[in-house]
Amino acid sequence: MTSFSQANVHAPFSAFSVLGGERVLQTHPRSTIEWIDLVRKGIPAPAVDAAMQRLNVRQAELSRALDIPERTLVRRKKEGVLNREESGKLLRLARIIERAAEVFEDGPVALDWMKSPNATLGGATPLSMLDTDLGAVSVMDTLGRIEHGVFA
């Protein structure tokens, strides 16, 4: 995956913004190392709601995309923080949303693309592919091809 976009950190579809910004994260990671530290400590659970709102998805859809049981998300919201693995999955999703917004140069268009069946992904939606590392890599590869005009 690409490194974190520093010039675009406050854009509506940056990973930072998708996760609720400083209000939710209680920090402002500016480097990959700082993001790693945040994931290791656990992303605050309100980032789940921020992501659902930004992506305009229901909790069940986000749960499937992250491969985190919905009941676990509910429990984490009560506990206040995601564990390391869950934090990594949520950040992976946010980074892919950021990348899609960069490629399409339009956040809403990127979200539509993420939710639409894609022939390159076997007819699956890019969002549905994010439940595995290989699926996430496939989505990033597809975005790279689109960016370089390999297919329309």
Task: Give pLDDT, residue 9.
Answer: 53
Residue 41 belongs to some domain of the structure: yes
Answer yes or no: is pLDDT of 11 > 90.
Answer: no
DSSP 81: B
Which domain range does residue 29 map to? 15-147
Residue 66 belongs to some domain of the structure: yes
Residue 152 belongs to some domain of the structure: no
Task: Give pLDDT, residue 142.
Answer: 97
Q: What is the pLDDT of residues 30-62, one digit of tens each?
A: 999 999 999 999 999 999 999 999 999 999 999
57-63, long-range: CB < 8 A, 24+ apart:
57/115, 57/127, 61/127, 62/93
Q: What is the pLDDT of residues 110-119, one digit of tens each?
A: 999 999 999 9
Answer yes or no: is pLDDT of 139 > 80.
Answer: yes
* 91/25 Cα distance (integer angstroms): 12
Task: Give pLDDT, residue 150.
Answer: 77
Average pLDDT over residues 22-28: 96
Task: Give pLDDT, residue 3.
Answer: 53
> What's the first-to-final CA gap in the chain, in angstroms?
21
Residue 4 belongs to some domain of the structure: no
Answer yes or no: is pLDDT of 23 > 50.
Answer: yes
**Assign residue 151 a region: left if phi > 0, alpha if psi is -120 to 50, beta otherwise?**
beta
Domains held by the chain: number: 1
Using the structure block, give the residue that is written with the tokens 């940056």.
Answer: 14
